[in-house]
Amino acid sequence: MKFNEKNIALITGVMVSSCHILWSILVLLGWGQFLLDFIYSIHFLINPFIVTNFNLTTALILVIVTFIVGYIFGYLGTLIWNKMIKK
């Protein structure tokens, strides 16, 4: 089954950037450090990172960059998939 590269790229970009929108909201609410500490602890690790204060500009850059990267990976992945399906 052949997929549309642009549609899959858009879906991938939205999914990846949505995760980072959620992360930005958690940081804004002050829950980022707790979540990071929890995730590390359930993997038997000590968290070496400190979550900084929320910054709207940084959050927007994070979401935009992750959307672009997700879009590129989705597009390239679909191109590869479609090429493999032809054979």
Nearest partner of 48 among 59, 61, 66, 33, judged by Cα? 33
- pTM of the predicted model as reported, rounded to 2 decimal places: 0.89
Cβ atoms < 10 Å from Cβ of 80: 10
**Over the stretch 13-47, which tens digit does the pLDDT of each residue have?**
999 999 999 999 999 999 999 999 999 999 999 99
Those residues whose C-beta lies under 8 Å from the C-beta of residue 41, and which sit 6 or more positions away, are 47
Q: What digits encode the pLDDT tens for the residues 11-22?
A: 999 999 999 999
> Hey, which bits of 2-79 come out as E strands?
none
* Domain extent listing, the chain: 5-86
Q: Is 18 buried (19+), middle (13-18) or exposed (0-12) by CB count in 10 A?
A: middle
Which pair of tokens denotes residue 57? 């500009």
